[in-house]
Structure 1
Amino acid sequence: MADDLNHPMDGFPVRPLQFDVAKLTASSRLWSRTCPEFSMFVNALGIHVPYFERYLVRTMTKAKTEIESPALRRDMAAISGQEAHHAKNFIAYNQFLATQYPGVARFEADARDYFSARAKTDSLKQMVGFSAGYETFTFLGGMIVLDNHARWFEDADPTIKALWVWHQVEEVEHGAVAFEVYQHLYGRHELYRKWTVLTALLHIAGETLKAYVHMAKVEGWFRNPFRGLWKTGFCVLMLLRFVRAALPVFSRRYHPRRHPLVTQRQNPIQIAWRRYQRRGGDVLEIDRNKMAEIMQLQD
């Protein structure tokens, strides 16, 4: 089981957590008081993510019959379990966002239809390739978000903060699985792997920007066009962070387990959160005091 100073991708578990988003109020929609733009960015990003996660589960189920390695089959089952719980929680959170932003229901329906259609028509190679390309950015996003906890999470709604910390820890844990399935089945098709990284990035960027701009309009940020453009710049810069972090992915020798964001040092939040949760700690709400308690377990 991933814990302590072991590599975070070793033996990761499924954690069936359920976050109480039903109690959220309008003041919770920009839930990071430290950085409201970050709140909006991950809110916008998260609208379509659960439907990709369901697509990934279908991909793993379909590909599992082609995989002989017991270790990889175990990891495929674990990623499916983690992603199923992610999807359930984020669909519930999207229902809250839909009460705050009139366009969210349409964006969510479009995402559901898009991934449902792809799951029916994509070949196994397309499903595995797109899943591996997309997981590149959920994995890297996990590292980027956790490494910037103080800048973006310091003063935040305890439930949504807890939801995103859990999600990002687990995205790092299973960040190599889709890649390894692709390598096992289609590793000789290196150019196609790189192409799927680019197509996944374009899809993520397009969906996120569309939702972010809509939310910014609802918040009134564009009443002053200069203010609106300035705040939209945060979304663009975040996507550029993803691009910069993804540069090692285009090396033929790339493997997620060896990405510099994982191997140069483990994020202390990952280490402490995994220890705390494994010992029975309540991770469904994380305020400043709870985070301080969690972080005592990093050493």
Structure 2
Amino acid sequence: MSAASPVPPVRRMDFDFDEGAVPAHWFGDDRILTRSSDALHLLFPSGERFFVRSVRHFSKRLESPELKERVRGFVGQEAMHGREHERAFALLARDGIEVGSFLQSYESFLQWMEDRSSPLFNLAVTCALEHLTATLGANSFFDPMMEDAHPTMHDLMMWHAAEEIEHKSVAFDVYRSVGGGYAMRVVAMAFAYGFLMVWWRRGMVHLLEQDGGFDMAEVRAFRRRARARGSNLPLAFQRALASYLRPSFHPDDSDDYHLAVDYFESVGRLAS
């Protein structure tokens, strides 16, 4: 375990998704930004349950008491993320947006992939996706557009972002401890990045088609507006991919735990 790696505390959250308070386009009154964010939120619950299964598969092989404790924290945090994001799905139902068919396709693909891959490859995919979600989390602290979110949804996203930073190295340390190597984790990242981009886009299209229609020109215009404001997640992902390709890579190479500490201190939730 890296000396910098904390034991992730499990915080019992209960966000107030008052259906009368959170507007339909809760992110800057912008339907593209809102539905893009909603689409990512749709991926989290089932995706994080996959992460948990992948890590737990190897839990009995772990010898380090410290790593076992971090795994317990990781499992608890991921369970809370899934629960709170699923509760937020009620906002989509309120607006007459159907998500069941998308979730069924997504979950079926996840299960198909998991069943046909080795446990070690599933863990390698988890490591890759955890690196991407930690990158997304850290980027949230610097993205000027975050201030446009409705307060409840802002709190949901920042809590999740901070906890992704807190447990960013757990799956990776499990992977290394059970003999995972460089070649597999690089192949897994190539798969994981494509998987995330494809399903994120499919989710966004599914939601937008029920909310005024999907128009690629409108999406491109939104991307230009985002870049003009200094929001550039694609660049953050490019840097994350480049760092992951280093044979010596470790998630703790990025010294950003202080972002999570500072955030939770500011909201009085540093501990569980």
Match of 2:121 in 1: 126
Q: Could you state the TM-score of these two structures normalised by the residue count of structure 1?
A: 0.78
Bigger relative contact order, structure 1 or 2, given CA contacts below 8 A and separation 6+?
Answer: 2
- Structure 1: stretches of 5+ with no match in the other structure: 1-5, 282-299
Q: Equivalent residue of 2:247, what SS? A: coil
Any gaps of 5 or more consecutive residues in structure 2? none
1:24-103 aligned at under 5 Å gives the runs: 24-25=19-20, 28-33=23-28, 37-100=32-95, 102-103=97-98
1:198 aligns to 2:177 (yes or no): no
What is the deviation of 1:173?
0.5
Aligned equivalent of 1:218: 210
- Match of 1:18, SS state, is coil
Aligned counterpart in structure 2 of residue 227 of structure 1, from 203, 212, 218 = 218
Compute the displacement of 1:108 (Å).
1.4
How many correspondences in the alignment? 265
Between the aligned partners of 1:101 and 1:152, the Cα distance in structure 2 is: 26
Question: How far is the alpha carbon of 1:248 from its aligned partner?
Answer: 0.7
The one-letter code of the counterpart of 2:265 is R
User: What's the CA shift for 1:240?
Assistant: 5.0
Matched with 1:294 is: none
**The 10-residue stretch of structure 1 (60-69 or 120-129) with the greater mean CA deviation from structure 2:** 120-129
2:248 matched residue in structure 1: 253
83, 92, 99: which one aligns with 1:104: 99
After superposition, what is the alpha-carbon deviation per residue over 1:110-145, rounded to whole angstroms, capped at 9, x for unaligned?
222233444445422122111111111111110111
Give the SS at the match of 1:153.
helix
1:291 matched to which residue of 2?
Answer: none
1:174 CA drift (Å): 0.3
State which drifts further: 121-130 or 54-63: 121-130
Query: What residue is the counterpart of 2:16 in the other structure?
Result: 20
Query: Shift in Å at residue 92 of structure 1?
Result: 1.7
Note closer, same or farther for the CA distance 1:255–1:280 as it changes in structure 2 (3 Å cut): closer
Cα distance, 1:192 vs structure 2:
0.9
Query: Which letter maps to 1:24?
Result: E
Residue 185 of structure 1: how far off its partner (Å): 1.3
**Hey, what's the Cα distance between the residues in 2 that align with 1:102 and 1:39?**
13
Contact 1:145 1:168 in 2 (8 A): yes
Q: What's the CA shift string for 1:2-34, capped at 9, x where partnerless? A: xxxx95x4222111212122x224962321227
Q: Counterpart in 1 of 2:263?
A: 273
Call closer, same or farther: CA 1:54–1:70 in 2, change over 3 Å: same
Q: 1:163 aligns with which of 156, 159, 164?
A: 156
Amino acid at match of 1:164: M
Across the aligned residues of Structure 1 and Structure 2, the Cα RMSD in angstroms comes to: 2.9
| Segment drifting more, 72-81 vs 97-106 | 97-106
Q: Tell whether 2:142 aligns with 1:152.
A: no
Deviation at 1:104, TM superposition (A): 2.2
Cα pair 2:121 2:184 within 8 Å, conserved = no
Of 84-93 and 115-124, deviating more is: 115-124
The SS at the match of 1:159 is helix
1:253, CA displacement in angstroms? Answer: 1.1
Identical columns (%)? 23
Distance, in Å, in 2 between the alignment partners of 1:266 and 1:41 is: 28
Instruction: Write the distance in 1 (CA, Å) between the matches of 2:175 and 2:165.
Output: 18
Which residue of the partner structure matches residue 135 of structure 2? Answer: 140
Give the equivalent residue in structure 1 for 2:7: 11
* TM-score, structure 2 normalization: 0.85
